Amino acid sequence: MKRCLNLRTQIGRLGLRALLVCMLPLSAAAQPEGGLYVAGAGFSFGQAADDGLSRNPGGGRFFLLALPPQTVALTTQASRSDAAARQRVIDGNGVLLVCQRDIDNGSVDASRLVPGVVAVRGWPPAGSSDLPAGQRYFPNEDPAKLPQSDEMLRRLRSTCS
């Protein structure tokens, strides 16, 4: 009888651990995700950074995409003010993004990007199988570094196309 109780206790503990492990991703996914802010198209990197930080004061993850020529703020050649704004974004749980197409066409030198900048691909050409049907991410992308929101990911891909 004592052995049976020990087994029940162990199974109960394992069940509780499994439940707790299963709950961890749910709590992480439940955290609010901020918006997508774009430096370029009339907004400086500093303005986009300030906007993203002011609209996400609680430390929720948000995304800042830099388009040329604002991409210099994501490089080792950034001005002091842009480097400071970049660090504030990182400290504020922002994710720094650049379009892969800008790297591919030579507008951005990938070797000069600071660590942590994520290159994002746009939509593949019509008829391409690069992005498998029904998938949100390309095979070489890390979903943890991109928006969870379908709408935000579509906006990001459209901007980088």
The whole-number mean pLDDT for each consecutive block of 10 residues of the chain, a chain of 161 residues, reads 48 38 36 87 95 91 97 98 97 97 97 97 77 76 91 93 92
Entry pTM: 0.77
> Are 4 and 81 found together in one domain?
no
Q: Considering the chain, what is the average pLDDT of its residues? A: 82
Alpha helices in 1-115 (DSSP H): 2-30, 45-55, 80-91, 100-104
What was the pLDDT predicted at 7?
Answer: 42
User: Are 102 and 55 contained in the same domain?
Assistant: yes
Residues 112 and 141 in one domain: yes
* Same structural domain, 80 and 50: yes
Asked if residue 39 and residue 23 are part of one domain, the reply reads no
Are 19 and 59 in a shared domain?
Answer: no
Domain that holds residue 78: 33-159
Structural domain count, the chain: 2
Give the tokens for residue 75: 């490089």
Determine how β-strand 118-120 pairs with β-strand 94-99.
parallel
pLDDT for 10: 45
